[in-house]
A and B are shown apart, each in its own frame.
Chain A
Amino acid sequence: MYEELKSSTVHTPATLAEYGEIINRFPDAINYAGGTYLVARPDFYPSDDNKVIIDLSNIAELQRITRTDRFVEVGAMVSASQLIDAGRLVLPSILLEALSSIGSTIVCRQITIGGALCIPDNRLSLSTALAVLDAIAEIKIFMKNGKSVTRWIPVSRLYDKEGKLVNFEGRILLTHIRIGLEVGNYQKFLFAGDPFRDGSEAVILAFHAERSSNTLGKVQMCINFPRMAFFLSKEIIGQISGLTLPIPPSMIMIVTGKLRAEILNTNPNIGELPLVRALRMFESVLHDLNTLYLQS
């Protein structure tokens, strides 16, 4: 079936320099990392346009994990299962939980870190956790004149409010992710629904804070509605940051009300189920902080 169609040309560069040459010759080429998103698309096969495919699996530079005292740097072609296995003892728990939530080992073996972050229209748990951890991404921008520029951009700025990948000028390739190892002592990762199979109703929440005696500091929170919104509100984070533990129930209700208004302000099309899921998750985090305070 469809064998009369012209076959796509596949390039397998071994270095980033080779990649640069290929992308300059074929600016419309498709970057192929793990393939879990691309192969599932109806236009991947059979395809009428036969775009050139660049298979990134042979670029050794993108497959390394390096660690220093302050951060872990992960190549874009490292798979989720490799990162779980290699980082079990060093990576923040919130990130390990996010990676484990992706699915079974079979899927984790195939999903790459770069691929998961660069899906154009569906944000997964990994983006949510990395945004909260203030991770930064190394982006190589390949210009039309053959030159390339490297930039480090916070993962949270890779996406717009709706969770879509921001368009950069030129052809970009995400090459590395740098994750800081100095993290707060309270981390929470919650999710409901399956972002792969049911992206419109799933919700992912990541929360990170430094809890000292009865105050909260360095609060970061991201609520991800995979196909609807990537919610990072500085106002809400600012409100929680100033709170004293235990947080009174009346205050939890007030902040939750504001969160509801802000989420709907970001994207009024978010359905009632994901919205309620997000609010209950948020409340549960605040109640959990109260519980921990009262137990200590």
Chain B
Amino acid sequence: MTLDCFIDGKGLSLPVNSNKPLLQILTEDVGNRSLNSNCHGSGCGNCIVLVNDIAMLSCMVPAFRLKDANIQTYDGFSKTRQCRDIERAYQATGNMPCPNCYASRTLLIESILQGLTGEHHTGKEISMPGNMHSQIIGDIENIDEEQIGKELSLVTCRCMDIGELVQIVKMALSIRRRKNVRRA
């Protein structure tokens, strides 16, 4: 099949097998180097990408579900302002993921921040069941750390503990909110 989609802002038309997982499309057909997953779908969490602004495990999305999708990998996300917020949170807390999981953890944190700030995703929705954001809007002091810890545990790399990651999320959330207030 010919897959027409946007990857990191570029419109592409790729000849791929209809059941080829997105992870392999990105690594083999597009030459993306930010994805380090070799778990073959068993859920290591190192292949997170944003599909129409929703975080997904790219090893679990086949090509036939990606028609006209807007896919953002860490390569594209690293050039955005949102990524700066998370990088500043890494610096402020003094904790940073290892190179192996850096890309996935950063995109996962962005996905959590979108839920916490209630930012709505834009663009055409992928034909995927249950493509809805879980809204966990609340004060930084009152955010559900257990829920956020559960979200963060999707990436199985053990370079950081959940407490450190929750601190990063809180810091990134306060940076993001300050920025949103300044813009408003």
Contacting residues of chain B (4-29) with chain A, CB-CB under 8 angstroms: 15-21, 24, 28
Do A82 and B19 have beta carbons less than 8 Å apart?
A: no
Do B16 and A53 have beta carbons less than 8 Å apart?
A: no
Flag whether B154 is at the interface (Cβ < 8 A): yes
Across the interface, A81 reaches (CB within 8 A) one of B17, B64, B134, B153, namely B134
Do B130 and A109 have beta carbons less than 8 Å apart?
A: yes
Across the interface, A112 reaches (CB within 8 A) one of B19, B57, B59, B129, namely B129
**Given known contacts A39-B61, A41-B41, A44-B19, A33 and B129 CB-to-CB distance under 8 angstroms:** yes
Q: Across the two chains, which residue of chain A brings its CB closest to B44? A: A197
Q: Across the two chains, which residue of chain A brings its CB closest to B156? A: A197
Do A40 and B41 have beta carbons less than 8 Å apart?
A: yes
Interface residues of B (CB under 8 A from A): 1, 15-21, 24, 28, 40-43, 48, 54-57, 59-62, 64-65, 108, 111, 115, 127-132, 134, 150-154
Q: Across the two chains, which residue of chain A brings its CB closest to B20? A: A45
Do B151 and A104 have beta carbons less than 8 Å apart?
A: yes
Do B154 and A57 have beta carbons less than 8 Å apart?
A: no
In the assembled complex, the Cα of A33 lies from the Cα of B57 at a distance in Å of 16
Flag whether A214 is at the interface (Cβ < 8 A): no
A40-B43, A40-B60, A53-B19 are known contacts; what are 11 more A-B pairs with Cβ within 8 Å?
A: A7-B16, A8-B19, A10-B18, A34-B129, A39-B59, A39-B62, A45-B62, A47-B19, A55-B127, A105-B111, A196-B42
Do B127 and A58 have beta carbons less than 8 Å apart?
A: yes
Do A1 and B24 have beta carbons less than 8 Å apart?
A: yes
**Given known contacts A39-B61, A81-B132, A7 and B19 CB-to-CB distance under 8 angstroms:** yes
Sorted nearest first, the 4 A-B pairs with minimum C-beta distance are: A79-B130, A40-B41, A104-B154, A10-B64
Across the interface, A108 reaches (CB within 8 A) one of B19, B64, B108, B130, namely B130
Main secondary structure of the interface of A (DSSP, over half): loop
Do A110 and B56 have beta carbons less than 8 Å apart?
A: yes
Across the interface, B132 reaches (CB within 8 A) one of A1, A39, A82, A112, namely A82
- A12 CB contacts on chain B under 8 angstroms: 127
What is the distance, in angstroms, from B47's C-beta to the closest C-beta of chain A?
Answer: 11
Do A45 and B111 have beta carbons less than 8 Å apart?
A: no
- A47 CB contacts on chain B under 8 angstroms: 19
**Given known contacts A85-B132, A106-B48, A35 and B61 CB-to-CB distance under 8 angstroms:** yes
- A77 CB contacts on chain B under 8 angstroms: 129
Determine which residue in B40, B129, B131 has the highest number of CB atoms from chain A within 10 A of its CB, and name it. Answer: B129
Do B42 and A197 have beta carbons less than 8 Å apart?
A: yes
In the assembled complex, the Cα of A63 lies from the Cα of B131 at a distance in Å of 12
Total CB contacts across the A-B interface at under 8 A: 126
What is the distance, in angstroms, from B98's C-beta to the closest C-beta of chain A?
Answer: 20
Do B153 and A104 have beta carbons less than 8 Å apart?
A: yes
What is the distance, in angstroms, from A204's C-beta to the closest C-beta of chain B?
Answer: 17
Q: Across the two chains, which residue of chain A brings its CB closest to B41? A: A40
**Given known contacts A53-B64, A107-B57, A5 and B132 CB-to-CB distance under 8 angstroms:** no
What is the distance, in angstroms, from A26's C-beta to the closest C-beta of chain B?
Answer: 14
Do A109 and B17 have beta carbons less than 8 Å apart?
A: no
In the assembled complex, the Cα of A239 lies from the Cα of B64 at a distance in Å of 52
Across the interface, A105 reaches (CB within 8 A) one of B18, B65, B127, B134, namely B134
Across the interface, A196 reaches (CB within 8 A) one of B18, B43, B55, namely B43
Do A45 and B130 have beta carbons less than 8 Å apart?
A: no
- A3 CB contacts on chain B under 8 angstroms: 15-17
In the assembled complex, the Cα of A109 lies from the Cα of B128 at a distance in Å of 9
11 A-B pairs with C-beta separation under 8 A: A40-B42, A55-B65, A57-B128, A77-B129, A81-B132, A82-B129, A103-B154, A106-B56, A106-B111, A109-B56, A110-B56
Q: Across the two chains, which residue of chain A brings its CB closest to B22? A: A39
- B64 CB contacts on chain A under 8 angstroms: 10, 53, 55
